[in-house]
Structure 1
């Protein structure tokens, strides 16, 4: 990559740009890929702070003779946002609404504003932008305009083109102009000679356009030169820029139409079909009912989603039996209209011969879903279709290149049958999902594009598929644009005359081929493997991993496969909801998101960042803000587990770089804690004697702005956890007294013992098999990459707990990060039946209480506690789907109202919040939602957080004491005493 460095370009950019100019190999590598199979290393990356920076970058590109490519969320499926030269990321700073006309339902927005963020701002006004693409949590309006995005509800709301009013843009020569309707010319209009030439072309080619352009809604291939014809309604030059993939001009502001929010109460009918073809045949009939959408979910997607923890409960709630395909039919009108539509849907399905058979026999039928929460979960599952399909743990993956061809609905069943036959001819299969309502199914054949034979098969499949599409008078590009994948096929689809017209438009706008060259016109071959993410000669250095990665394919014991499972679709770039990715939500830096880290690891593993990159300082900077929240483990639909990857990299680095003093202090805390508790008063001087904290920061790296946890002389002792049960058949539970509760927060463990005992349980504290120091999960060692030491602790813990596990006793813990280490890391440290058995037996306090109370195995005499509890969930609780149990346990307290904060990571994350280098980001994470919610809470509201770190962050950042759920229950017990 060093050969791409251009010192003159770097100096030119640095002089003229206020934002970030990134020229190091690690940063450029992170922008070398999008969600396609392609990879092109840029010469520089610019993160502009304003429009002037974009203009300065364009000036530099023009003067230095390098291309420039605009980028939003980087989620393009066809390689639109990768190129040599300069890549400009608008998503970090150019993300605001500039003007909002609520009455006129118009908005002028920055190109980098994310769709979900935009709609959150519009919601209080009763409006939304309805081009609801599945990547709404990270797709920018500029990128959506560039691709002419469509979304699930285009049947009702149309495509991006239908919803763009005007575009402010900069031409390749630096001219700024506003592109809109021809009849509404005003200030800053485009050059008149340009407009005249474009309209002349439109008149000249009008007949050919009418004859050749596909008559389907989902035609987004080529340039929209039909907007230039005399009968275009309206003649809007902005519509020519829509779908142009940044090849004609650079958008700096986009005026969009807004729509009234649809009714909150929708109706959803889930139509089940015994065969895939029957679902395709039914689509044309269901569309006549005027739904807002008809979305396909096939059996492959159902099967993969059942293996993903976050989707399994949703599937269980609405899927009956084992259908070959589902069609999700949504109506969003008035309640009466929705009810009538659902009746019509049932009748239509019955007329088509589908219903649920008796005795469990599946024949097809409709499951009505009225619960808004379940509807939202189903929508989230469908939106994650791409990532679910990419979660296959094999060398072959579903590949996007014929993904969104669109054909008329009457031909959909025949088209899918014939395309399936083409896949079979090449020894593969396809995955299918998405927009059955408009004949635009997302289909991907499973191929291993690292292999030359599969790259060749990809091209043959494309040629055959596009031939089919043309035969059915469809569009070879129905939603995701052209990019590298489809641009070279425009001659086949449109003919030489219209492709020549495309070339005329490109040359007239951009005679120097400055703007995103190689897209739409003058394209490379789509299977040029030198442009692939996995080019010829791609290989990974094999090394001995410290953890078990055998569930993934590839070199380095499967570590390669675990890293490469990231498909770059960017679900980790969401700014609200769920947890992932908390550091990115603060910095908005591609380096600090799961995708950016995974890309960096892949490039380092394959030697593309130079020797020693995997354990380099630059890699540590890449991983520094990963707080190991484990959110990606659950929320990334392909299962990228960055927390575990970070442990592996830290271990590998330790071999050559050793450990810092701070690392040693963190890792060995369980070892020196007994002595520290005896001299806790002396250690407390660090936070009381003037200058001591500053000296401590210089020596250890712990921030002087944060007081350290206090070791407690009254620490928890094992004997305190031994309580006999009431009856002989009372549940026998083993309490795992974690290091943090034992030495810092013993009241939590004591509360847990009190609650379990009051419930009639026999409680026994877990002890080492041969005596000696207390048991430890090894969490602190893992945080420092000391895997061997963590493995030793895991071995000690398994040896001590296995007899209890074999006796059927649950292992109950109160600190989520510690207890859940047994479920997550222990099997990776010590694979085999013993660690698996312990992982199965290990339960959080709340999980045990909620399940036992529901089953009637325990009964707690709890006094009413009128009022409210504000609950913050620990990241690991969320990662393991335990928040429902936490809420259920709190609701055992009579008259207690429970409200869960919609929060990401609290920001403390163990030692992360104490580190002088990361404390600012730590506090900023807390300020995203948690700390403001706590400050706004009434003084009588209980603040509840099960994590030691979370409670400390709340105390430091909001000056409120948070309690463990066990303490809340124990307090209610005391009221009855």
Structure 2
């Protein structure tokens, strides 16, 4: 985890070695993006010297975090680019499309309330053509479906009484698009004797940061910190099933909020796979897992890799008897959150996804596994394999073991 006190001067440590450029998925497929070195440390120097305050190329940064992990000097490149995005948006403004894409929670609430109609509308060519022409959302881009019986409706808050207890940061995707992921996580925790509560929460803010809406992201960060911190102080662990959400709580809030409270919260946040791996290392994980004679290809989300925690999902899935999981090793999927929903970036998104699609085809496993809902969206569009969350697989193994007793 980086030191906030070094944020303003961290760019001075840049060696101009191009390690960040070599690790940047977007730089590998287009020259429209200046690259993380130029759009991060170099642009910050120019801004500080008042030589330049805006560069529209920054819009092609996906804030994937690969540059941070690759930098040998621990320069906070993605944080610098996030602030550059905010400067660009404040100076140049942004349209209705970017407002919609940055407000995933608002869209989720509205779309799930009319889920059958919403899902049908998103598949109708006339409506998609209209969205293409009026909002620059490409006609061919697949959209995730919404669920009327979302997780917020079916799971009420309560107080946990178990020794270990979890405050679940559900996130927009598991709430409105895939409540089965949230339900599976709760089941997995129950099989491990851990009760789960759902604190009041807002969108983690990653879509807002990606669209240069720093002030809005800060408001959400402040709300979530104030909502989650009391649980932490009562002994709860904060766990997320979306790697973008866990990245926001662990890292992004330190830069956009920067308070001691943000630091205190970050120290108690886990990705779901990371949390289960910690239980295993402590001898606390329920190992009564039934065999699953299945093969899976695992796609690692960029926001998981950006947390520098290895590959916890695979570490846990490999504990299931007779289960085979293999890392696709295909890099960025290309969806990149809201990035792939933008017409001017759609071709770049598709180019980025080619290696992943080819890897899925070559492996020819039973299905693909990933923690990220947006990675799933791209996988659904580019491959013919079903896509599952690690928690769904674990829940199935635990349930089969229970039924076998």
- TM-score, normalisation: structure 2: 0.92
Instruction: Indicate the SS of the match to 2:216.
Output: helix
Q: Is the 8 A contact 1:628 1:642 kept in 2?
A: no
- Which residue of structure 1 lines up, in the alignment, with residue 13 of structure 2? 565
2:329 aligns to what SS in structure 1?
coil
| Equivalent position to 2:28, from 585, 588, 609 | 585
CA distance change for structure 1 residues 734 and 685 in 2, over 3 Å: closer, same or farther?
Answer: same
Write out the 4+ residue segments of structure 1 that deviate beyond 6 Å after TM superposition.
Answer: none
Instruction: Indicate the residue corresponding to 1:736 in structure 2.
Output: 169
Q: Is the contact between residue 4 and residue 254 of structure 2 (CA under 8 Å) also seen in structure 1?
A: no
Shift of 1:937: 2.6
Residue 35 (structure 2) pairs with residue 596 (structure 1): no
2:60 aligns to what SS in structure 1? coil
Higher mean C-alpha deviation, range 930-939 or range 789-798: 930-939
Q: Secondary structure at the match of 2:289?
A: coil
Seen in structure 2, the aligned counterparts of structure 1 residues 867 and 680 have a Cα distance that, compared at 3 Å, is closer
Question: Residues 33 and 60 of structure 2 are in contact (CA less than 8 Å); yes or no, is this contact kept in structure 1?
Answer: no
1:931 counterpart residue number? 357
The residue matched to 2:94 in structure 1 has which SS? coil
Larger Rg: 1
For 1:746, which of 176, 179, 191 is the aligned residue? Answer: 179
Q: 1:662 to 1:729 in 2, by over 3 A?
A: closer
Which of 208, 211, 216 pairs up with 1:784?
211
Residue 606 (structure 1) shift: 5.5
Change (3 A) 1:607 1:698: farther
Paired with 1:607 and 1:781, the residues of 2 have a C-alpha distance of 27
Partner of residue 664 from structure 1, selected from 99, 124, 127 = 99
Q: Which has the higher helix share?
A: 2
Matched, 1:761 2:216: no
Change over 3 Å in CA distance of 1:716–1:591 after alignment to 2: closer
Q: Is the 8 A contact 1:721 1:735 kept in 2?
A: no
Contact 1:572–1:632 under 8 Å retained in 2 = yes
- Paired position in structure 2 for 1:143: none
- Please give the secondary structure, in 1, of the residue aligned with 2:64: coil
Q: Which residue of 1 aligns with 2:53?
A: 614
SS at match of 2:339: helix
Query: Which of 246, 251, 257 is equivalent to 1:830?
Result: 257
1:721, CA displacement in angstroms? 6.7
Residues 540-584 of structure 1 deviation map (CA, whole Å, 9 limit, x = unaligned):
xxxxxxxx96414xxxxx2xx34443221111343xxxxx21112
Q: When the two structures are aligned, how many residues end up with a matched partner? A: 402
Q: Give the 5 Å matches for 1:443-454.
A: none
Which whole-Å deviations, capped at 9, do the CAs of 1:99-131 have from their partners, x for residues lacking one? xxxxxxxxxxxxxxxxxxxxxxxxxxxxxxxxx
Match of 1:906 in 2: 333
Distance in structure 2 (CA, Å) of the matches to 1:952 and 1:753: 23
Distance 1:734 1:962 in 2: 26
Equivalent position of 1:954 in the other structure:
379
User: Does residue 650 in structure 1 map to residue 89 in structure 2?
Assistant: no
Q: 1:549/1:832 Cα in 2 relative to 1: closer, same or farther (>3 Å)? A: closer
Does the 8 Å contact 1:779/1:817 carry over to 2?
Answer: yes
Alignment partners' CA distance in 2, 1:675 and 1:800:
23
Note if contact 1:760-1:858 (Cα within 8 Å) is conserved in structure 2: no
CA distance in 2, matches of 1:965, 1:873: 11
Secondary structure of the equivalent of 2:335?
coil
Contact 1:870 1:899 in 2 (8 A): yes
Shift of 1:904: 1.6
Cα deviation, 1:444-499, whole Å, max 9, x if unaligned, reads xxxxxxxxxxxxxxxxxxxxxxxxxxxxxxxxxxxxxxxxxxxxxxxxxxxxxxxx
| Structure 1 counterpart of 2:285 | 858
More strand by share: 1
Is 1:812 aligned with 2:214?
A: no
Superimposed CA distance per residue, residues 848-879 of structure 1 (whole angstroms, 9 cap, x where no aligned partner):
11111231223143210124221111112111
SS at match of 1:734: strand
Q: Give a deviation string over 1:20-68, Cα, whole Å, max 9, x none.
A: xxxxxxxxxxxxxxxxxxxxxxxxxxxxxxxxxxxxxxxxxxxxxxxxx
Quote the RMSD (CA, aligned, Å). 2.4
- Cα deviation for residue 746 of structure 1 reads 1.2
- Check whether the contact 2:108–2:146 (CA below 8 A) recurs between aligned residues: yes
Query: Would the aligned equivalents of 1:666 and 1:911 in 2 still touch at CA under 8 Å?
Result: yes
Distance 1:715 1:797, change over 3 A: same
Q: After TM superposition, give the deviation of residue 603 of structure 1 in Å.
A: 6.1
Distance 2:225 2:277 in 1: 25
Mapped to 2, the partners of 1:946 and 1:763 lie a distance apart of 19
Aligned in 2, Cα 1:656/1:723: closer, same or farther, shift over 3 Å? Answer: closer
How far apart in 2 are the matches of 1:667 and 1:628?
A: 14
1:267-282 to structure 2, matched below 5 A, reads none
Closer, same or farther in 2 for the Cα pair 1:723/1:889, shift >3 Å? farther
Go from structure 1 to structure 2 and tell me whether the alpha carbon gap of 1:684 and 1:607 turns closer, same or farther (over 3 Å shift).
same
TM-score of the superposition, structure 1-length normalised? 0.39
The 8 Å contact of residues 568 and 595 in structure 1, kept in 2 or not, is answered as yes
**Partners of 1:598 and 1:853 in 2: CA distance:** 39
* 2:319 equivalent to 1:880: no
**Residue of 668, 672, 675 corresponding to 2:110:** 675
* Residue of structure 2 in register with 1:944 after alignment: 369
Q: 2: CA distance between counterparts of 1:673 and 1:885?
A: 28
1:889 counterpart = 2:332:
no
SS in 1 for 2:155: helix
CA contact (8 A) 1:867 1:895 kept: yes
Gaps of 5+ in 2: none
Q: Is contact 1:906–1:950 with CA below 8 Å preserved after alignment? A: yes
Instruction: Give me the whole-angstrom Cα distance separating, in 1, the residues matched to 2:104 and 2:56.
Output: 23
Is 1:920 the equivalent of 2:375? no
C-alpha contact (below 8 Å) 2:207/2:338 kept by paired residues? no
Q: What corresponds to 1:551 in structure 2?
A: 6
Kept after mapping to 2: 8 A contact 1:723/1:757:
no
Contact 2:137 2:341 in 1 (8 A): yes
| Distance in 2 between residues matched to 1:794 and 1:650, nearest whole Å | 18
Q: Out of 41, 57, 73, which is 1:638 matched to?
A: 73
Classify 1:777/1:690 alpha carbon distance in 2 versus 1 (closer, same or farther; 3 Å).
Answer: closer
Aligned ranges 1:503-518 → 2 under 5 Å: none
User: What does the per-residue CA deviation read over 1:875-895, in whole Å, with 9 as the maximum and x for residues that have no partner?
Assistant: 121111233322211112112
Asked whether the 8 Å contact 2:340–2:346 carries over to 1, the reply is yes
Structure 1, unmatched stretches of 5+, are 1-307, 310-547, 553-557, 575-579, 768-773
